[in-house]
Structure 1
Amino acid sequence: SIFLYILFESLSKGFKPIPCIDSTMIGTYCDIPNSLCAMIEPCQNNGSCVDDQTQTLGYYRLCSPDFNGANCEFDYRPCKPLSCLNHGTCNQTSNSTFNCACNDGWQGKNCQSMINFCDNITCKNNGVCRPLLLNYTCECLINNYYGRHCEGVSMKIVIYRVVSTSFAYLGILAIVCIAMFVIIMDILKYCFGIGPTREDLESIRRKKTREKTKISCNATID
């Protein structure tokens, strides 16, 4: 067709872009800066790039104070973005030193350590203290305890302790009663000559005497 013929003729002659009116711009639509610095933007940390064809890279850089390197990539500031952690504030004290003003609950040269609020805190009933930011908590290892310092005791433990104590008291009372009984019996026996088996012993003695007498009489008759 005529359309395809015209298209073929146009392509065979090669593509010839229209020169841009502004010599600092290039591209089909003249929307690309004709500058190496503008195209690659090599300078970091707010450094400035200046086109210079006499330079090896085709440009030279102007770094901000305290920055250096081929592309201003090296930071020599005492206060860097991560000098003070956990939202601490960095204060430069000299050309090479700084100190950190830490937020509440943090400490250390770089505010890297959380203050341990478990110091001087005792969790009862074998509870374990866990430090928190500006606080602490006692982790009760057994479900039968609760409270700020695991000082609360469940009713189950209370009943168990009462029952255990009661049995202990009953055992002690039984031992005391037995000891008192033995002491009283000894007093009656050795001080007053009264024993719980005295009459039984006397009865046995009389019975044996009668038996001996009976045997003697029978022997005499024979």
Structure 2
Amino acid sequence: MKLLQNKTTSVSYTNSTAFVAAACPAGTIGTSCSVASDLCSMTNPCLNSATCQLNSTLEIGYYCICVTGFSGTYCELNHRSCRPGVTCLNGGACNGAVCVCPTGKDGAYCQNEVSICGSIKCENDAQCVSNYGNWSCRCTNNELYSGIYCEIESSSLRAKQLISRSLASVAIGCLVAVITFVILMDVLKYWFKIDPVHKDVDASKNKNENNERKKKSIKPKQPVIAVRFRYIHG
């Protein structure tokens, strides 16, 4: 049987200087007082390169100053044209927060066409079309019109126009001739007391009257009655 033996442990102390932290100015902490103790520095709440500004009148004690293209309490909302998931259209290139559009395109995403047709005059009802800073005239019918401004008419169209003008000229000529004839007849009749058609009218009238008289003077033939006697023997 082993006997328990009490052992005494002794601790010796030496004299030393106690560490006392230096008193930092208000708003700083750390061994060298180099760490800011305000909310903006301690929590760093603002996002996307925003600047945190202390304001004791606000409930949270600060507010975030957002850079262009961001918004929200913490500048967490991204409104930039060039951001993940959104691309510039029509060949536009992303440059920081904006889309740099090619010639002839405009808008936040280069989605709009810049029209340069204001000074272009297409002919024959053609339509000016603007595309990437260039323009062209769209003819109403490519078989009838051609040229940069749709100003060249096809030979078939010119032939049709010539025929139409010829027919119109003939019709106008006939109408003018009829009107001239009527006016001439009136002038001869009422100014010079000459009626070129009076004799013909009278002759035609007399002829009709003579025909009527002849019809009345001709007596209808009497029918011939044949009488036959028949003897009856008693």
Q: With the length of structure 1 as denominator, give the TM-score of the two structures.
A: 0.46
Q: Which has the larger radius of gyration?
A: 2
Q: With the length of structure 2 as denominator, give the TM-score of the two structures.
A: 0.44
